[in-house]
């Protein structure tokens, strides 16, 4: 799917929403009502009525980041990315899986 989205982006064939969602600048925080908005079209993070829920989720996320020592917001070292890509790229289970866009730089 990722390769298809990149191809469609290059061909100018994405909808305005797809273009914004996949290639536009994302807001710092996003909050969606998955029951009423399963396609995540309406970001509730900037609506005051949802401040308490947003704060709760922000606290949970920050706690998880600290406990797990997640470094997801920091850029990964290219050497480590390449090593991970080389380790997994030929495994059958990943042949048809969606690829992390960071690995695109290693495709031949």
Q: How confident is the model over 44-99, as pLDDT tens digits?
A: 999 999 999 999 999 999 999 999 988 777 777 888 888 988 888 888 877 777 77
Spatial neighbors of 94 by CB under 8 A, at least 6 apart, are 88
Token pair 């996949």 in the structure block, residue:
22
- Lowest mean pLDDT segment, chosen from 17-21, 28-32, 41-45: 17-21
* pTM for the whole structure: 0.55
């Amino acid at each position: 799917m990722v390769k298809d989205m990149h191809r469609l982006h290059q061909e100018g064939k994405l909808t305005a929403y797809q273009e914004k969602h996949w290639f536009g600048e994302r807001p710092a925080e996003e909050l969606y009502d998955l029951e009423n908005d399963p396609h995540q079209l309406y970001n509730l993070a900037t609506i005051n009525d949802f401040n308490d829920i947003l704060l709760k989720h922000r606290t949970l996320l920050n706690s998880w980041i600290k406990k797990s020592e997640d470094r997801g917001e920091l850029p990964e070292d290219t050497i480590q990315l390449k090593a991970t890509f080389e380790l997994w790229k030929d495994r059958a289970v990943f042949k048809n899986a969606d690829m992390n866009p960071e690995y695109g730089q290693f495709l031949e």
